[in-house]
Amino acid sequence: MPVPWRSSAEVFGEYLTSHDLDTADVIDVDAAWHAFSEFLQVEIDGVDPDPDSDADGFIVQWGRFSWNAHRPSLAFTRQLAIVGVDDRDGRCADPEYWQVSLEMRFDDGPDLTGIEALPEHDTGFNFAPIGPHRRAALAEVRTDMERYSQLQAAWRTKPTDSELTLDRAD
């Protein structure tokens, strides 16, 4: 049964809790990845049903950003194209893009040095359909990320804090 899109962050939070994680204090990146992988298999109500649209996908991002005081970070994000709702003006025919994102931030350390200088800052969006194709895509993304020692280090490092959000994508 699909979950309401406005509840998607809460549902991701429930998966994190099932892995003994607190959304504001993730202590294990690998456990968060498993929760994210499970969350990505959940059907979300309100997503654009057009099979040719990029309506439901995921991306992993890393680096140092101004909004988190340039601390090393790693984010697991699901992007949803929601149809029929526009928060400002009522109903809307064009989809709105929303993101459910878990951002984990780390203290500086020698193993994370250079995370912002990697040749890539994200995995790129992946829109594999829910089910075996998405599981395979997740496995491939995880394997690709292992090419970088800084991302391997982030995976082994306890985040100093984390935040789970549902925000409209700009």
Q: What's the token pair of residue 103?
A: 């951002």
- pLDDT at 31 (0 to 100): 98
Query: Mean pLDDT in the chain?
Result: 92
Centre a 10 Å sphere on the Cβ of residue 133 and count the other Cβ atoms it contains. 12
Q: What's the pLDDT at 50?
A: 76
Whether the predicted pLDDT of 87 surpasses 60: no
Closest by CA position to 129, among listed 40, 39, 9: 40
Look at residue 109 and tell me whether its pLDDT is greater than 70. Answer: yes
CB 59 within 8 A of CB 144: no
Q: What is the mean pLDDT of residues 8-35?
A: 97
Q: What is the mean pLDDT of residues 1-5?
A: 92
Q: What is the pLDDT of residue 151?
A: 96
Residue 25 identity (one-letter amino acid) = D
Dump pLDDT digits (tens) for 57-81.
999 999 998 888 889 999 999 999 9
pLDDT the model gives residue 92: 57
Averaged over 107-134, what is the pLDDT?
Answer: 94
**pLDDT value at position 88?**
54
According to DSSP, residue 122 is labeled: B
Q: Per the structure, how many domains does the chain have? A: 1
Confidence band for 53, pLDDT divided at 50, 70 and 90: confident
**Cβ atoms within 10 Å of 4's Cβ, excluding its own:** 11
pTM over 0.85: yes
- Cα–Cα distance list, 61 to 47, 118, 151 (Å): 23, 11, 10
Q: For residue 67, what are its two tokens?
A: 């909004």
* Res 95 pLDDT > 90: no
Structural domain range at position 61: 3-168
- Of 81, 32, 21, nearest in space to 60 by CA: 32
